[in-house]
Structure 1
Amino acid sequence: MDQDTAIAAFSALAHPTRIAVFRLLVRSAPQAVPALSIASRLDAKPSTLSGHLAILRRAGLIASTRHQREIRYEANLPSVNAMIGFLLSDCCGGQISHCQDILTMLGEETGA
């Protein structure tokens, strides 16, 4: 991920509703979540939520698919991985042993 793409992704997340949507979709991965379910779970107005979803989609953080009249959203996990890789690529001057706290946290999150 280049710097401009990373800035766009981080900017898209710089809003309480958008980061809540993103976190919900990451937790739900790899399952897609219907837009109305997202609105209900986050207690957000569907009309307002659609704008936030569009911003996240343009930043490449989420993807959408249409199933008849329903639109489902999912986290774009390769993009999420690229964003995390961008953040950590220079971490600790390449000394992975200095990143143990991060690795431990990721292991706890995934149950590893």
Structure 2
Amino acid sequence: MIIWPDSIDVYLHRDPVDFRKAINGLSLIVSECMGHSPFQRALFVFCNKRRTQLKVLYWDDTGFALWQKRLEKDRFKWPKRLSEESIKVTPEQWQWLLRGCDFTKIKPHQHLVFSEVI
């Protein structure tokens, strides 16, 4: 498994894409539909209609890279009813998605900040 840096932005494309698309076709979706530059430091994640495959497009300062994952059993828990063309997720949510979790239903504990101890 690839270890993605924690400091990288992750964007999920809302709609399923034709998985015959490769780097050029996915780059056009990133710029024209998602409204981002495909050259920014980010992972752009696409899912097929059956939600059994993912493609991840990213620029690594020397060229584009395309990573693909196919599930042999089960489906990815892709977010439903998104109003925007893309959704930004945290690196933690991205890892949950890869592991098969529905990250929209997972709620972490609230972060607390205190300034004094009694």
Q: TM-score, normalised by structure 1?
A: 0.30
Greater helix fraction, Structure 1 or Structure 2: 1
Q: TM-score, normalised by structure 2?
A: 0.29
Greater strand fraction, Structure 1 or Structure 2: 2
